[in-house]
Amino acid sequence: MTIVQNLILAIIEGITEFLPISSTGHMIIASSVMGINQNTFVKTYEVSIQFGAILSVVVLYWRRFFQTWDFYFKLFVAFLPAAVIGLLLNDYIDQLLESVEVVAVMLVLGGIILIFVDRWFKYDPREAQDVPIKYPTALKIGFFQCIAMIPGTSRSAASIIGGMIEKLNRKQAAEFSFFLAVPTMLAAAGYKTLKTYKEAPKAITENLDALLIGNVVAFFVAMLAIKFFINFLTKYGFKVFGYYRIIVGATILIMLALGYDLKV
């Protein structure tokens, strides 16, 4: 992986991690289009740079993130489903991460859902009020997040919609999704990095500069993306993201049908 490819993937991670368009799906597609060899380091890199993105949440929301123990316990409850199911299905998930077809199909299906979300959950920002997030609510949102283990689904989309089903308004659901990303992505990035270090330590030690650059770039880009997303979502809703997903997913499916080699 070249420096330019490193930067492109980091920028994609920063932009897409907190938008409902699937960061994993976009990095899989980008890697395929750029012809990046999916070796041990690249697979680890694509997960590890999520650390930079989640750090942006802690920095932007530090006053709200450092709260009471009750807040952390609720995050832990919401995180548990992904932790358990992720460990149990880790090998199967890794296989799905190698499929551009799965990503494209899930982008289209998720896009269709996002187009109708605004109709299902009527929203007036002038009347929107935060509601208390109870432990059962946190747990249900955690299970919704698990849907995103299918690449192309979007962790943020799944958890935000889960929050809205539980009567959270758009802004509150999005922000809880951001907070939930911290333990979820930290665990995923840490687990993947440590696993790679144990199995192929040189893949990490010889590429520390690439990991550092990727995390720094993802951090700053994610900060901008979060600010944009909250403002845009509050004013305009999900429909634009839905159309975008359908266009990208359909384009990939057409390219595959025409014989373009987009395998990872």
Q: Are 214 and 45 contacting, i.e. CB atoms less than 8 angstroms apart? A: yes
What is the band of 244 on the pLDDT scale with cuts at 50, 70, 90?
A: very high
Structure tokens at 82: 């992904």
Higher pLDDT, 100 or 80: 80
Mean pLDDT of 221-242: 88
Q: What is the pLDDT of residues 41-95, one digit of tens each?
A: 888 888 889 899 989 988 988 888 787 889 999 999 999 999 999 888 877 776 7
How would you label 111-129 residue by residue, b for 16+ Cβ within 10 Å and e otherwise? bebbbebeeebeeeeeeee
At residue 23, does pLDDT exceed 90? no
Q: What is the pLDDT of residues 8-18, one digit of tens each?
A: 999 999 999 88
Residue type, 238: F
Per-residue pLDDT at 96: 67
Residue with tokens 């994610």: 222
Taken as a whole, the chain contains a residue count of: 264
At residue 262, does pLDDT exceed 70? no
At residue 126, does pLDDT exceed 70? no
Dist CA 261 CA 264 (whole Å): 9
Residues 6+ apart with CB under 8 A from 65: 57, 58, 179, 182
Dist CA 231 CA 243 (whole Å): 19
Dist CA 177 CA 155 (whole Å): 8
Structure tokens at 72: 């952390």
Mean pLDDT of 218-226: 93
Per-residue pLDDT at 197: 86
At residue 139, does pLDDT exceed 70? yes
> What separation in angstroms does the CA of 198 have from each of 31, 49, 51, 193, 228?
25, 19, 19, 9, 39
Domain coordinates of the chain in residue numbers? Answer: 3-257
Between the CA atoms of 145, 147, 152 and 158, what dihedral angle is there, to the nearest 10 degrees?
A: -40
Per-residue pLDDT at 78: 96
Higher pLDDT, 68 or 158: 158
Dist CA 47 CA 24 (whole Å): 8
Indicate the average pLDDT of the chain: 87
> What separation in angstroms does the CA of 262 have from each of 30, 92, 103?
10, 21, 12
Per-residue pLDDT at 43: 83
Residue with tokens 């992986």: 1
At residue 205, does pLDDT exceed 80? yes
> What separation in angstroms does the CA of 43 have from each of 98, 148, 225, 251?
10, 18, 24, 24
Mean pLDDT of 199-224: 90
At residue 98, does pLDDT exceed 70? no
At residue 129, does pLDDT exceed 90? no
Per-residue pLDDT at 107: 93
Dist CA 216 CA 31 (whole Å): 19
The per-residue DSSP string of 198-246 comes to HH-HHHHHTTHHHHHHHHHHHHHHHHHHHHHHHHHHHHH-SHHHHHHHH
